[in-house]
Amino acid sequence: MTRAPTTRPPTNALSPKKLLHTKWTAVVPKNKEKHFLVTKVIEPVPLGSPVVSVEIEAVHSKRARIIGWRELTDAAQWRRGWV
């Protein structure tokens, strides 16, 4: 018995516990910001709740922004590492 291939969009499997200092490349750069570094994993309130957000910093401009960490799993927006 063979399985039919699924047509799910590709994802970047990752854990919020291992995100700090990881490198990311934006698939569609904005404002010449293509390469990013996760500089902070934002602890939720109350403590012990699941992590929801991270702070990423653009390598070129040093501009930081907060995004939901699950956005990084979308391969249409992000690539792991600096590509």
Sign of CA dihedral 48, 12, 38, 26: negative
The arithmetic mean of pLDDT across residues 5-24, rounded, is: 77
CA gap 81, 56 in Å, rounded: 13
> Please, are residues 61 and 11 in contact by the beta-carbon 8 Å criterion?
no
- Summarised one tens digit per residue, pLDDT across range 21-75 is 999 999 999 999 999 999 999 988 888 888 899 999 999 999 999 999 999 999 9
Q: Which residue has the higher pLDDT, 28 or 14?
A: 28
Q: What is the DSSP letter of 13?
A: -
